[in-house]
Amino acid sequence: MTVLYFSATGNSLFVARQLASQSAHQLVSIPQAVKQGKKLFEDDQIGLVFPVHWILVPPYIQSFLRQVRLNSRYIFAVMTYGKMEGAAVSHLVRIAGKSNISFSYINTIRMVDNYLPTFSMDDEIASEPGKHIEEHLKSIRADVNNGKRWIPGDTLTNKVLSRTLMLYHPYKNGVGFTKNFRIEAACNGCGTCVKVCPVDNIQLVNRRPQFGLNCVSCLACTHHCPQNAIRLKGEKSRTRFRNQHVSLKDIIEANQ
């Protein structure tokens, strides 16, 4: 089994690790595959694990799916989300179909919502135990290991939503999101934001982070800043989040 993953705050990394926990399994970071130009993956089972962004498949993953070739008899996807998965499944099926990727199994798993402009991380972290993540993950793992074939049913609302949002997505290509970040005086130029950015969109200039125009809005820079010096416009809390099973080193290794 090969599990390809993309993760900003560790939820998807944790899930990917759990799915690929046997020694014969391979865990592959999507940002690294993209940077290395690796476009062909072959295995008996291939999985994709990534977060839902704005109730859809993140534009970064859409672009990856357009480039990649997956040769496998069983392709599956698990999307992590916080409050509302919305049209993500329907969207994934549609964009994958355009790239001739046919999924055998898709599931979603509810975890801490890391979207700062909507949620206070204090409340989100406090609500984590009620989400029964380990139990859900165990059942998804059993499904995948048994080669279960299942894709959740789609509703008309989700079909319409996914089509509309695809056309009118506010941050389709990442250009607009950059203006939402503000660096506070506490920044000491440590460069952690540079290291956790999956698309190398941040540079240090005179020991201050400068954002380019390729932001994929994953919020890795914001959540992992050791000085908590990156503010996001409209954020609901100063508290930041990293999945409890994942370290900063893991995120750096995954995204560099």
Residues engaged in binding ligand FMN (CB under 6 A): 7-13, 51-55, 80-86, 111-115, 217-219, 243
Strands 208-211 and 202-205: antiparallel
Instruction: Using the minimum distance from each CB to ligand FMN, give the nearer residue, 53 or 240.
Output: 53
Residue 44: CB minimum distance to ligand FMN, A: 25
Q: How far is the CB of 101 from ligand FMN (least distance, A)?
A: 21
Max CA separation in the chain (angstroms): 54
Whichever of 10 and 31 has its CB closer to ligand FMN, that residue is 10
* C-alpha–C-alpha distance, residues 208 and 59, integer Å: 27
Nearest-approach distance from CB 222 to ligand FMN, in angstroms:
9
CB of 73 to ligand FMN, least distance (A): 27
Any idea which residue has 């508290």 for tokens? 239
Q: What share of the chain is helix, strand, coil (3-state, %, to 5)?
A: 35, 20, 45
The H-assigned helical ranges of the chain are 11-19, 30-36, 59-67, 88-98, 121-126, 133-145, 156-168, 192-196, 220-224, 248-255
Minimum Å gap between C-beta 84 and ligand FMN is 5
* Of 5 and 41, CB closest to ligand FMN: 5
Closest-CB residue for ligand FMN?
12
Residue (45 or 222) nearer to ligand FMN, CB = 222
Least spacing, CB of residue 178 vs ligand FMN, in Å: 13
Among 53, 1, 79, 30, residue whose Cα is nearest residue 198: 30
Q: Which is nearer to ligand FMN, 69 or 126 (by Cβ)?
A: 126
Vertex 196, ends 191 and 199: CA angle to 5°? 110
Q: Which is nearer to ligand FMN, 105 or 115 (CB)?
A: 115
Half-sphere exposure of 32 (CA within 13 A, CB side): 14
221 vs 219: CA distance, rounded Å: 5
